Amino acid sequence: MTAWIGLYRVPLTCAAVPEIACGCLSKPLLQRLEDDPDVDTTWIHRTGGLIAVQWRQPVPLGQQLAPVAQALGDGTATGMPPEATSALLGTLGDSGQWYSRCTVDRLSEEEAGVLASRLVEHLVDARIPTPDGAALRSDLEAVLRDVLVTQDDIPLGVRLQRLLESARGVLRKHLDAPSFRMCEPFLSTIALLPTNVGQAEPGFLGGIDSVLGYGVTKAFDPVFRMALGRRPAAFHI
């Protein structure tokens, strides 16, 4: 299993759920890599920090990075020396740690579940009545999963907007008009970011600003803080 397999560090951690890899970014990357005639199989590690590539024949380390960097599109992949990879290579058979092109959608499905739970939790925190929280969460998860799994190869900003639009449609269906109006102060793309974004480094906030097209710090105004109740920093995705 470990013959002709290389490990490479990559920046594919999910911005919304930092504990896992981003399925939306990982899936097209694995597909592009497997289009390379020298590549047999690829995997993304659950953390999003590593990919594994099984080559069809031995490839010198110095020649491995070019196709990986090309598939990433930004040249940020770095190789790992053989002596540092042996323990990790031994875990490749663990489907809970490594995801192939055919199973990577499971990460997006997990992300959808986390996002749905967070959105429902925001409603609870803001004391917005939810007649059937379980049904609301289930419907939110379904529409978010559809965006993440079937619309994976689109820019991050577009994906955030589509997630938000889908969630808004479900909330409008489940909540009465007064309750839905109570949601609107925090139904923005900032709702799709981790709750600790308010304590993030300035560089991180600047990067998010560039994606969303406006200043994240405007979200931390009194209305937003009041809507969030006990968690004034920001939202998870």
pLDDT tens for the chain, 237 residues: list them.
457 899 999 999 988 899 999 999 999 999 999 999 999 999 999 999 999 999 999 888 778 888 888 888 866 788 887 777 888 888 988 999 999 999 999 999 999 999 999 888 888 888 998 888 899 999 999 999 999 998 867 787 788 889 999 999 999 999 999 999 998 877 777 777 776 654 443 333 333 333 333 333 333 333 333 333 333 233 223
Amino acid at 36: D
The CA distance from 9 to 104, in Å, is: 17
- 79 is written with which tokens? 């190789």
Q: Specify the residue for token string 């379980």.
A: 134
Whole-prediction pTM value? 0.79
119 CB-contact burial (10 Å; exposed 0-12 / middle 13-18 / buried 19+): buried
Distant-in-sequence, close-in-space partners of 207: CB < 8 Å, separation ≥ 6: none
> What's the pLDDT score for residue 54?
94
The CA distance from 23 to 127, in Å, is: 32
> What's the pLDDT score for residue 147?
94
The CA distance from 170 to 88, in Å, is: 42
The CA distance from 49 to 221, in Å, is: 34
The beta-strand segments (E) located in 82-157 are: 98-100
Where are the alpha helices (H) located in 151-176, listed in sequence order? 156-174
Closest CA relative to residue 119, chosen from 164, 149, 182: 164
Closest CA relative to residue 236, chosen from 3, 77, 20: 20
